[in-house]
Amino acid sequence: MRNFLGSLMGSLTALVIFFTGLCFVGLVMLIAMASAGKQDHTTSVRDGSYLHFQLDTNITDAPSQMEFGDLAGKPQESLQLRSAVAALESASADKRIAGLVLTGSLQADGYGSSFAALRELRAAIAAFRKAGKPVIAYLNDADTRDYYLASAASDVALDPYGMIVMPGLAARPTFYAGAFEKFGVGVQYTRVGKYKSAIEPFTRKDLSPENREQLATLLGDLWTNLLGEISESRGLSVKDLQSVADNEALLSAEAALRLKLIDRVLYRDQLIDELKKKTGVSSAKESFKQVSMVDYMKATDSGSASGGRIALVYAEGTIVDGEGERGEIGGVTFSRELRRLRQDDDVKAIVLRVNSPGGSASASEMIQRELRLAREVKPVVVSMGGYAASGGYWISAYSTRIFAEPTTITGSIGVFGLFFDVEKLAGNLGLSFDTVKTARHADVFTLTRPKTDAELQIIQKHVDWIYDQFVGKVAEARKLDVAAVREIAQGRVWSGSSALRLGLVDELGGLEAAIAHAGKLAKLGDKPSVVEYPRKKELAELLADLFGKFDSVQVREPGIADRLSQRLQREYALINSCNDPHGIYARLPVDLVIE
């Protein structure tokens, strides 16, 4: 019997190893085929085709290291802003492209699909229309982001049973203080800046008056910009659009047509039939002549550059100490890359695209140090995306010139320390702790007890010092009076429009404007060669990412429970990213989700 069980277990183990190896080889082959397919891919664009832009994706700043959807035959989960803008620019002059069709609904994930990114994409759509080609936007259930983009079209259509949801902008943070009290989790903090509200979710049960004030001003700036652009495109007054948001909010197709937010109401099959006629397709089994945005982007990819060039470096995500993980800006990793680019004589200028709420103060300083050194030998231009706040502003301050969008969230010049303890929670569970130490504050960073008043005073001194350094750096870099910087700092967030007025940025404009400016400074012209960083990953790195990706693949649209889980995961990730060795941060409020 023992031999039988031994043989059985041995056979099962061999089978597991065999199938694991088979899956691994299969994955390698899939990636290899995908890579080969990408290299050999040539998109055939028929004359008279429409460029089909399916918006069911997340618009990101940085390019994807690999599109996992390609392996599973699914739509791309993300689309790089710069590549999409370049494709629209190319298509506007491409004689084979007769027009543009927008369908679907944007997916906002992480720091993607921000209003700052959408503004640049919207400008590219408007330029396509200005080139004399029709732009048709077909909507089903459109939110504010979708409609903001679609309103740039020459023809906006809505499904008869569709809806436009445009109730305005809102920020609704989650507060944990009550739950922490109930479970026995202690929270202590130190901070500088009355508007530095990142600690509020853990210490309060509602917004402080200062936080409410800054959020109201910020959202008001963003909303005013959105209404202004929509009103210009649709020929409506800002007052009328505000009335729509205040009195309608959820608009049926009939109401949207009556209020002139759309041009017509029709079913999708009617649109397809119409486009078939326009593109000369008579077969009932065929759709209209079209090329997808993804395929057209691949066809217009300029490839790598050689010789004198601009390095476009993406700083997207939370700034963390150490190497950092995917979706984070690791101080060590990022500094190493900047150092290499500084020492590369073929790199004539650096454009830093920032889309970050900040994070670790020490990591932010490490990155800023490398950028300051780089600026001594070549131009360094910053393009701010959706977020360039707190640590995101810290790393931007010393650049040669700063570009921001009106809807960029920036500023937040402030510092805080946040500390948790589980002494009460542990006591409720029957756990206790004892300590042996060689000095009074040897266990100052323990989670097992709250900090003493003396320890908080020590930490506050360090927080004050970091804040003074932050303010001084901004004053020096931006050539502003220290007192003036203290007045606009205080941890307060500002829109890009307000930041321009306050002297925190130099110019309103998108990524391409920043690249063009860097090209002029480096004497490379308005259309310089650009190489993007971080680099594409090697096969082993891709496989590691692939296994992690498969663990979180969703096979359906998220429901209420899924969305709640995603929200909690986001909060956990933000808390988990707080890894500054001294517990001190220059970061945007922990949860500034604009709905």
- 390 belongs to the catalytic site: yes
- 237 belongs to the catalytic site: no
Quote the CA–CA distance of 132 and 11 in Å, as a whole number.
69
Q: Which amino acid is at 325?
A: E
With beta carbons less than 8 A apart as the criterion, state whether 79 and 101 touch: no
Question: Which of 197, 390, 412, 498 does the annotation list as catalytic?
Answer: 390
CB proximity list for 9: less than 8 A, separation 6 or greater: none
Token pair 């090329």 is found at 291
Quote the CA–CA distance of 328 and 316 in Å, as a whole number.
7
Task: State how beta strands 358-360 and 584-587 pair.
Answer: antiparallel
How far, in Å, are 362, 547, 556 from residue 552 at the CA level?
31, 9, 12
Q: Is 204 helix (H, G, I), strand (E, B) or coil?
A: coil
With beta carbons less than 8 A apart as the criterion, state whether 584 and 415 touch: yes
**Crossing angle between the packed helical segments 115-130 and 81-93, to the nearest 10 degrees:** 10
Question: Which of 49, 114, 196, 289 does the annotation list as catalytic?
Answer: 196
Q: Count CB neighbours of 365 within 10 A.
A: 19
Report the Cα 565 to chain-centroid distance in Å: 20
Give the Cα-Cα-Cα angle 344, 349, 351 (nearest 5 degrees). 115
Quote the CA–CA distance of 44 and 30 in Å, as a whole number.
24
Question: Phi, psi (5° rounding) for residue 150?
Answer: -65, -30
Tokens matching residue 135: 């732009």
- Please compute, for residue 373, the number of CA atoms within 13 A of its CA located in the half-sphere on the CB side: 15
Quote the CA–CA distance of 374 and 364 in Å, as a whole number.
15
Quote the CA–CA distance of 60 and 117 in Å, as a whole number.
8
Which residues does the annotation mark as catalytic? 196, 390
